[in-house]
Structure 1
Amino acid sequence: MDAEAAASEGFDELDPDEIGGSTAGLSRAVLTDDQRDVGVPMLLHTADTLPGPEHGERFSTAAYLHQASLGRRWLEDGDPGEETTAQLLSLNFHAVPPEFRRTAEERIRRVLDLGEAYDPETGTDGPRVMVAIYDGDRSTGLWAAELCRRLGVRAYYFPLRHTLLEAGPRLTDDELATVAADHELCFHTATHRAAAEVTEDDLEAEVVEPLHRLTRVAGRLPRLGAWRGGARFDPGTLGDRTLRNFGVTHLVSNWSVEPIPPAAGLDPDTVS
């Protein structure tokens, strides 16, 4: 299968009208989207454009599918095709085989023409774009780091130590340190866990140690984090409370990049 065929593989298996405001089928929708494109364009909300609590349907499977379609349209046509308050276009990569890298480079160059580079500490007054590299595939990570450096854009890396979803080695500590000279390292657990899966028994290995590792190799604490499954911040989960207590400031979800809300005090059941 060539790159264009890979980018157009079937996606429309879920009907947003049937899903409504629920998150039914979300995991399947995200996985299908990841497998469709060489670099998945996703339109995201930020702190400036987040819908209020009365718009809970904005964080549903139907909303994800809609934002995904707007992101693809924006990347392909230069315009999302309708009015939307979401202003951040994130181009997301996992493992990119060598035969697809020409297409991936074209998509990165295209997205950089659509807005200014995103930074979580600045506002989104107008379109913003970001390039995100997920799961730490070694070959992809080193290729993307050099390409984005040459293009003058800081990429956001969400590395793992191990995943069963991809073959091939992950980026080593020394390689991550080299990547961090030009790009930003972000939290993504050790072995690809969702926030709800983290327990007291594996908190140290899955959350605390990766945070220490990234801080050590980059010389600074990660500002951004993301969970497998793309959940938003939930103070009811041990993993999210730990990210907050460490000082991670933003969480990337399927719909948004949101500031992590401050706590009244330090949660006693997390490890530092």
Structure 2
Amino acid sequence: MVLRRVILACLIALLIPSGGSSAAGSAPSGEDYLTALASALSEMESGNLIGANQFLTSAFALRRDEPLAYLTRGVLLLQCGAYAQAEGAFRDAAKLGGDSALGARGLALSRLGLRDYAGASQALAGITAPEDADEAAIVRAYVALLSGQKVDLDRFDEQDPRVRLMKAFSALSAGKTPDPALLDVPWAEPSGPALDRGVTMGLDCSEPLMPVASSSEVRAITGPVRPGGTLAGTVRLRADAARTPEAALFLFYVGDRLLGVVNSPPFEISWDTTRFPNGVHRVTIRGQDLNGVVVGEVSSDVMVANLAPEVGRPLQGPAAERILRAIRESLRLRPNATWAQFRLGEMHQAAGRRSEAMLCYARILAFRPGYRDVQQRWRALARFTASAPVWKGNAGTQGIALTFDDGPNDGTPALLRQLERLSVRGTFFLVGSQARKRPDLVRAIAAAGHELACHSETHRSLAEMDREEIIRELFGPIAAVQEATGRVPRFFRPPGGHLSSEGRRVAAEFGLTPVMWSANCGPYEGGPVSGMEQYVASAASGSVVLMHNCEATTLEALPGIVQRLRSRGLSPGRLADVLR
């Protein structure tokens, strides 16, 4: 799309000093450095590795002679599968006087990732401190298992999911079928599609550790830590809306902080960099259409340096100790929920439990679509047939499909009550991240007889995503809906209707049907009820009507819409009803 190129050009070319003083900020302190490291570790824990890298780059901009940053860098590189680079970071930390036990744990995991089991064992040998000994014992047992040695796993806590997975791995290595209870590792939480984050065991002799970073994250993170262009004082950010007709407004961010929203020329905003800490910040300009759909977005990392950074001795004290504790936790070997789901899927598939196997594989596709042959396995079980995008149904059905996007949300119960009063069943296109947070509402929609469909995982435009991202966006809601109801939705509506040729290919490959619309109520949902009633009631037989869950105008207009459609001999209902 044009928008990405235009915003990028504007972002680089129009960061223009506006006369602000570069001396207005304060010199960065040890507190700034530790705050950046704490933020980096927090972002890693939440699975946002790109954000973690930005904060870590800021920390390096402030201090390059302090070991905590190198320890943190090592942890991040381990999650990217860059094991040789991670080892270098841990060795650099040791040269600067970093915590020896943490350095040894980092070196052991680096050597493990490189499949050097002897080197990993050697690094672990000297760890005796109580706060590190238990973790070192788990890693030693794991290294021994991968080396083909017999290990007494009963001496460990049986509630530890890592121990259960090692027992399952041991059974499989011996040609036995593991107890399914050993594979009971939570795969999801409301805040995200998977728990595989951090330094994760691979449970595979060819991949002892499983990188959790995506390919795009690896490319962004494993390069040298080099801050980009330097800014000071007040600068201006501008978007060229004349070349982006799809965008009705632009949102300007620095990190997660919204600077402002601009919907009129010259589409420009000022940024006082002295109000932000020195270091690297990600500046993002995001374009949205009238429906609030993101039609394009681009980011650029810039260095804020209002005064020269300080240098000094390695930091100590309570704040530094908190960072050490966070690094210690980040170096804890994590269980592999993806591996567990894959093995469960294999067992269900072998036993002929098709639906259960599909759910296991869908969960993996929602997070790690490149894992082993999971794509082929899901397709073989689903046996869905590719269909062309649907814009309109069969006029001979005398039906009108009422479809509702963007749920489930707090407005869903009211919408369900209204449809129940009207004896109408519709089709709900659900956002995966919201469905995962509100499985009760997903079940309520299904129980009321409505059709369940998908509306992406994050409600971002699919137009510029690569294959891996598209699969995640499609299968996030599929997994959430199936887990809540047992149903496997085949219809999906791309946010804003934006779907690239790659998106169409991916949908066809998995037998998923893109659904567009022949009547879009978006422009009417913010206006008077009478206008929306008249618009929908005039729709032709077989029309697919797009509404939203749940605009106030939609809720009020539904009785009149249904009454007027029925008076014309048309039957408002589900998408499937008009496709017969």
Give the TM-score category using the shorter length. Answer: 0.3 to 0.5
Normalising by structure 2, what TM-score? Answer: 0.21
Report which of the two structures shows the higher radius of gyration computed on alpha carbons: 2
